[in-house]
Amino acid sequence: MTSKLEQLKQFTTVVADTGDLDAIARLQPVDATTNPSLLLKAAALPRYADLLRQAVDAGKGDLGLACDHFAVAVGQEILKVIPGRISTEVDARLSFDTEATLQRAERLIGLYEQAGIGRERVLIKIASTWEGIRAAERLEKAGVQTNLTLLFAFAQAQACADAGVFLISPFVGRIYDWYKKAEGRDFVGSEDPGVQSVTRIYDYYKHNGYDTVVMGASFRNLGQIEALAGCDRLTISPELLQKLAEDDGQLSRQLAPGAAGEPRQSLDQSAFRWALNEDAMATEKLAEGIRLFTRDQEKLEALLTATA
């Protein structure tokens, strides 16, 4: 029997949620994703010391620019060991500013292209706020494909699909965390609220013919991954990828096109904001996620300052 990781790869594109080149080379995912937290971890690795110094020099006193240079440098290294694409994230502090998000996204793509990396190998990660979704809509029309992250509510998924974004990253583990704390109990398999959220989105997209890719993210255990086998893509930490690689048990496909889905519903800004407001979990986790990514962005800036 082949490993669960190899079985999973038969019907789901596996993405590595890390900046650790050794782990990526060992586990051989198709794509990889980074975020401020993962870049901060990567910055602590000795192999990236030179890239940190080069980013500081390239930034010429502009910390935001230095961070972008570092993110792109890490992305370049990752692209050397994967066949697919790298997701690189826009500064979370711009999550409520469409124009600033657009400018930062264009700068990231420009830095990749200056390094000889075509935009077809890059996804720009943007928080799934109303403003972020509008920025993504314009980027997609301009030929820059996007990965909408920090997605917790069904309304966010609806708005992303209508905006024509390339890919969304619903956060399974963080949804699970919220409900586990709120209800004081654990959840397993298909009863897991995070698994249910991704399943609902996947079925909605397939039922209504949306092309937007669903990539489950933020996993806490193997059960969540196994319950979403068949999802378009899953971005998984090296630790959980390793566990899948070491497990020779049977893995069955759980998600597939053809299941019943809800009818298409398009949301304007007021309907989107109201639906998000009505979802306490999504409202809290979106705000928390933006704050946490911002704190790690600030720590990365401090590290770059210390490197100067």
Q: Give SS3 for 88.
A: strand
Residue length of the chain: 308
In eight-state DSSP terms, residue 171 is B
Residue 242: burial class (beta carbons within 10 Å; 0-12, 13-18, 19+): middle
Within 13 A of 42's CA, how many CA atoms are on the CB side? Answer: 29
Q: Which residue has the tokens 């196994």?
A: 226
Structure token pair of residue 57: 């020099």
Query: CA angle, corner 32, sides to 29 and 35, nearest 5?
Result: 150
In which element (H, E) is residue 14 found?
strand 13-17
The set of catalytic residues is 125
In Å, what is the CA distance from 100 to each residue of 74, 105, 114, 183, 198? 23, 9, 21, 39, 29
